[in-house]
Amino acid sequence: MSSIQQTPDYYLESRDVTPSKVLDLFGRYGFLIVENLLNKDFISKCKQELLHAIALEKDYHKGKPYIDENMVLLCALYGGSFIEIFNNERLLDPFNAVLGKGCIVYAYTSSSMPPSGKNYSTRIHVDSPRIIPGCVTNVGATILLDDFTEDNGATWYLPSSYERADAPDEQEFFSKAKRLIAPAGSIWFFNARTWHAGGVNNTNNWRHALTINMCRPWMKQRIDIPRALSNMQTDGFSQTALQKLGFFAQTPANYDEYYVAPEKRKFKQPVE
Ligand SMILES: O=C(O)CCC(=O)C(=O)O
* Cα three-residue angle 29-31-33, rounded to 5 degrees: 125
User: Has residue 272 been placed in a domain?
Assistant: no
User: Has residue 1 been placed in a domain?
Assistant: no
User: Has residue 243 been placed in a domain?
Assistant: yes
User: Has residue 3 been placed in a domain?
Assistant: no
CB 53 within 8 A of CB 110: yes
User: Has residue 258 been placed in a domain?
Assistant: yes
Ligand 1 close to Cβ of residue 121 (< 6 A) = yes
Please give the distance, rounded to the nearest whole angstrom, from the Cα atom of residue 264 to the centre of ligand 1: 37
Give the max Cα distance, the chain: 72
- Count Cα neighbours of 147 within 13 Å in the Cβ-side half-sphere: 6
Q: Binning pLDDT at 50, 70 and 90, where does residue 3 land?
A: low
Examine the pLDDT at 262 and tell me if it is beyond 60: yes
CB 53 within 8 A of CB 70: no
Pocket test for ligand 1, best of 74, 155, 187, 194 (most atoms within 8 A of CB): 155
At 55-64, the pLDDT tens digits run 999 999 998 9
Q: Binning pLDDT at 50, 70 and 90, where does residue 5 land?
A: confident
Domain coverage including residue 176:
11-264
Give the position, in ligand 1's atom list, of the atom nearest the Cα of 211: 9
Nearest residue to 140 (alpha-carbon basis) of 223, 214, 216, 195 = 214
Ligand 1 close to Cβ of residue 146 (< 6 A) = no
At 191-244, the pLDDT tens digits run 999 999 999 999 999 999 999 999 999 999 999 999 999 999 999 999 999 999
Distance CA 112, CA 207 (A): 6
Please give the distance, rounded to the nearest whole angstrom, from the Cα atom of residue 141 to the centre of ligand 1: 10
User: Has residue 129 been placed in a domain?
Assistant: yes
Please give the distance, rounded to the nearest whole angstrom, from the Cα atom of residue 209 to the centre of ligand 1: 8
Task: Kindly report the CATH number assigned to the domain that includes residue 146.
Answer: 2.60.120.620
User: Has residue 152 been placed in a domain?
Assistant: yes
Q: Binning pLDDT at 50, 70 and 90, where does residue 272 land?
A: confident
At 111-166, the pLDDT tens digits run 999 999 999 999 999 999 999 999 999 999 999 999 999 999 999 999 999 999 99
- Count Cα neighbours of 17 within 13 Å in the Cβ-side half-sphere: 28
Ligand 1 close to Cβ of residue 209 (< 6 A) = yes
Give the position, in ligand 1's atom list, of the atom nearest the Cα of 111: 1
Ligand 1 close to Cβ of residue 127 (< 6 A) = yes
Q: Is the full-model pTM beyond 0.85?
A: yes
User: Has residue 185 been placed in a domain?
Assistant: yes
Q: Binning pLDDT at 50, 70 and 90, where does residue 4 land?
A: confident
Query: Structural domain tally of the chain?
Result: 1
Give the position, in ligand 1's atom list, of the atom nearest the Cα of 197: 7
